[in-house]
């Protein structure tokens, strides 16, 4: 049996470092998006933002983007 990655989920990191996303938001799944880069591009098309912080990229949904402190 061979295991293959089926898809990738990118979820919201919340409005700030201490607060989780109140909606538990994730980028909507699209049939053609299977890599992290493709999924993040889908999120940007839906109004998500991303910014580098030390060690990783923070992904923020449109709701949390408006509530960011």
d(CA 63, CA 46): 11
Task: Provide the pLDDT for residue 38.
Answer: 92
Task: Provide the pLDDT for residue 49.
Answer: 94
Q: Per-residue confidence of the chain (69 residues) as pLDDT tens digits? A: 887 777 788 999 999 889 999 999 999 888 888 888 999 999 999 999 988 888 888 999 999 988 765
59 exposed, middle or buried (CB, 10 Å; 0-12, 13-18, 19+)? buried
pTM above 0.95, yes or no: no
Task: Provide the pLDDT for residue 66.
Answer: 82
Task: Provide the pLDDT for residue 67.
Answer: 76
Among 17, 46, 16, which residue's Cα sits nearest to residue 30?
Answer: 46
Label residue 47 left, alpha or beta by phi (over 0 means left) and psi (-120 to 50 means alpha): left
């Amino acid at each position: 049996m061979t295991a293959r990655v089926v898809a990738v989920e990118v979820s919201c990191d919340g409005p700030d470092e201490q607060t989780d996303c109140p909606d538990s938001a994730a980028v909507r799944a699209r049939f053609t998006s299977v890599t992290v880069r493709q999924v993040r591009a889908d999120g940007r098309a839906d109004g998500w933002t991303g910014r580098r912080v030390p060690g990783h990229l923070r992904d923020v949904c449109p709701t949390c983007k408006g509530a960011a402190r």
